[in-house]
Amino acid sequence: MSFETDADITELLEGFRNRTLPKEKWTHAAHWAAALGLIAEDALAAYRDMPGMIRAYNESVGGKNTETEGYHETITIASLKAAEHAYRGTPGGTPLHEVLSGLLAGPCGKPDWILDYWRRETLFSVKARREWVEPDLCALPF
């Protein structure tokens, strides 16, 4: 799924919320599109609601949310923080798909971007999957 218009992001969010988005469309870019879309609607609600939305979506496509797979709190919160920073760092009225494009063109566009801030052992620990764990390599820049 490409995100060339804001309508593409809206469509992604609808499928994610309704759990009708095909699993193969839940890509790295789709995660960012969902995070940005939710932040743009209501940042506080995004932090509150996205964890449950991810868990429900995972289960809807046959996934599990366990100590080793599925929902990951630290990755989700770090991603929301990055998305919020990107969103707030652009002039008002900037189309959301342009914010997303900028986000994906930077370090967050790499699937392993988060390993610049957390050691692998820390990030993939049960504790980090269940709750927010502060970065242990360097502080997030946002």
pLDDT of 34 = 98
Residue-wise pLDDT tens digits, 53-78: 999 999 999 999 999 999 999 999 99
Residue-wise pLDDT tens digits, 109-127: 999 999 999 999 999 999 9
Mean pLDDT taken over the chain = 97
SS3 letters across 34-102: HHHHHHHHCHHHHHHHHHHHHHHHHHHCCCCCCCCCCCCHHHHHHHHHHHHHHHHCCCCCCCHHHHHHH
Residue-wise pLDDT tens digits, 24-50: 999 999 999 999 999 999 999 999 999
